[in-house]
Amino acid sequence: MAVEIERKFLVSGEPWRAAASATRIRQGYLCGGARAVVRVRMAGERAFLTVKGEQRGVSRAEYEYEIPVGDAEEMLGRLCQPPLIEKTRYCLTHAGVSWVIDVFEGENAGLVVAEAEFSKEDQSFELPDWAGAEVTDQPRYLNVNLIAHPYRLWTAAERGETGGGPPRQRTGRP
DSSP 14: S
Is 63 in the active site? no
Reference 26, options 101, 95, 82; nearest CA is 82
Estimate to the nearest angstrom the gap between the alpha carbon of 149 and the chain centroid. Answer: 15
- Find the catalytic residue in 29, 63, 141, 151: 29
- Tally of CB atoms within 10 A around 29: 22
> What positions carry a catalytic annotation?
29
